[in-house]
A and B are shown apart, each in its own frame.
Chain A
Amino acid sequence: MNQSNPSPVAGANAAAENAYVQIRGLRTVLNGKIIFDGIDLDIPRGKITAIMGPSGTGKTTLLRHITGQLQADAGEIRVDGRNVPDLSRNQLFDLREKIGYLFQNSALLTDFSVFENVAFPLRQHLRLPEELVRNIVLTRLQAVGLRGAADLMPAEISGGMARRVALARAIIRDPSLMIYDEPFVGLDPIALNQVLKLIRTLNDTLGITSILVAHEFAAVRRAADHVYLIAGGKVAAQGHPDELAERDSPWTRQFFGGEADGPVPFQYPARDYAADLGFPAGAV
């Protein structure tokens, strides 16, 4: 148990060996804006690791790096021992077959029913008898509590249900890594708790390594074993959520305490206010 290492590099000996995803010196520039400026990060095996940070810090971008959808400018991203930037398109597809990804907006295929959506990865990759497909899909739907909705179309179900269908789809092939991209956004408290419980259960029962990107600290606190706080292109803080909540750093205080102004400025970078309004400098 080394979730609260002060620095991932210092404690790398044990943690890195055990890490499912290992990121070193990640640098990314998108549209001239520095997103990541040398990030080191370890996702330990069999744990839920939360990645938090203000909007626009590139949490989704980080996930896209891990799954190889986006090339980083520099750095090493090892997923299960393989360096993602070096993989060919086919090798990437091989890698992704072991990753379950829950999208921010569920991303169900609108042409297919709930059942076919969940069955989609099976049908695409394996030639299974229809009977078996049906059984696998129904057990997954049962797990997320939506077996009764199997014949509905994605347009006919609510956002929370869609999120659970997407979750069933993501776990259909027994992934060894689950990635949740903001799974709680736009959910009412009931649906949020249902999804939260599912995430926790999946991890507890199947031991799936999980990456959880979320804003809701209360929810993260109940689910995650380890939290990385990313801000300004760096890892601003990390540790066990409970410990992090009590830590007294400007970043954690602003982010977990929800202060409007702090290290993350309220004002978007702008010219001098007074000059913009046409007053002599310093008049405002």
Chain B
Amino acid sequence: MSAPRRPSMIGDSLAQIGAVGLFLFSILAAIPKSLRHFRETLRQIWFLGAMSLVIIMTCGLFVGMVLSLQLYYTLAKFGGTAALGTVVALSLFRELGPVVAALLFAGRAGTSMTAEIGLMRATDQLSAMEMMAVDPLAYVVAPRFIAGIIAMPLLACVFNTLGILGAHLVGVSWLGLDNGTFWGNMTSNVDVWNDLINGVWKSTAFGAVIALIATFQGYTTPPTSEGVAYATTRTVVSSSIVVLALDFVMTAFLM
């Protein structure tokens, strides 16, 4: 577990990627068994998803408001304020919603996953489960992984909704754009599959990646308080990087 760190960065990160890959396979293998602990999965959706609602909703509202404010003045230069609703909706659905919600999710839920599993490792709770013939992969890791995949797209949708409402608040109620123009322009330009659902797929993938990284870091952390702290930091850093990189890859190749 706490093997001495080798100085070679490349070899280290390759080994890390390989380990994460193997870990993913063992999670997938444990998923059938984890269905017996479905209640635990529900509990994790509650802790990871519902508990992240406040931050997701607040941030969604403000992102939508600031987006509306910025874009309104930029569009006004071209006489195109009618397109405000469209531009806000497209940027939210396609990029900002999934990505920002994922970054928030990594900070709010990913860290708690890592810290929780790391502490369970440090206090022998995982070994205790193994000794009680309960597979911690099926009981602890897989439910969190599934919960991440389920909760993330739902959170992104909530984020998007609040963002649209925030944009409407600023654009229509404050800056005086016509209500019909705002919605009408949006509805005629935003496609449900290409824009909205593609964003939902993206956020599903982000949820899986964040949950994978967070559980991996927690599961393999050195069983010390220092190790848990370090693993928590690494969860945020690596899942942020991976989310943004994956976002580019998915946008470039899948859309």
Contact = CB atoms under 8 A, between A and B. Distances in A.
Please say whether the chains A and B touch (CB closer than 8 A): yes
Interface of A: 31, 67, 69, 89, 93-94, 96-97, 99, 101, 103-105, 107-110, 120-121, 124-125, 169
A110 B123 contact: yes
A99 B127 CA distance: 13
Contacts of B134: 120-121, 124-125
* B4, B131, B135: residue with the most chain A Cβ atoms closer than 10 Å: B131
A107 B130 CA distance: 12
B194 interface: no
A104 B132 contact: no
Interface string B191-233: 0000000000000000000000000000000000000000000
B135 A107 contact: no
B178 interface: no
B131 to A, nearest CB: 4
Interface in B96-143: 119-120, 123-125, 127-135, 139
Contacts of A120: 132, 134
* B4, B125, B135: residue with the most chain A Cβ atoms closer than 10 Å: B125
A179 to B, nearest CB: 8
Contact of B124 (A67, A105, A121, A169): A105
A105 B123 contact: yes
A124 B131 CA distance: 12
B123 A97 contact: no
A93 B124 contact: no
B133 A93 contact: yes
B125 A94 contact: no
8 contacts: A67-B130, A67-B131, A101-B132, A105-B123, A107-B124, A107-B125, A124-B139, A169-B132
Given A96-B133, A101-B132, A121-B134, 20 more contacts: A69-B127, A69-B130, A69-B131, A93-B133, A96-B132, A99-B131, A101-B128, A103-B124, A103-B127, A103-B128, A107-B124, A107-B125, A107-B128, A108-B128, A109-B120, A109-B129, A110-B120, A110-B125, A121-B132, A124-B133
A109 B123 CA distance: 9
Contacts of A93: 133, 135
Contact of A107 (B123, B133, B139): B123
* B123, B127, B132, B135: residue with the most chain A Cβ atoms closer than 10 Å: B132
A109 B128 contact: yes
A133 to B, nearest CB: 15
Contacts of B131: 67, 69, 96, 99, 101, 103
Contacts of A96: 130-133
A124 B124 contact: no
A107 B127 CA distance: 8
Contacts of A105: 123-124
B133 A94 contact: yes
A203 to B, nearest CB: 19
Contacts of A108: 125, 128
* A89, A109, A110: residue with the most chain B Cβ atoms closer than 10 Å: A109
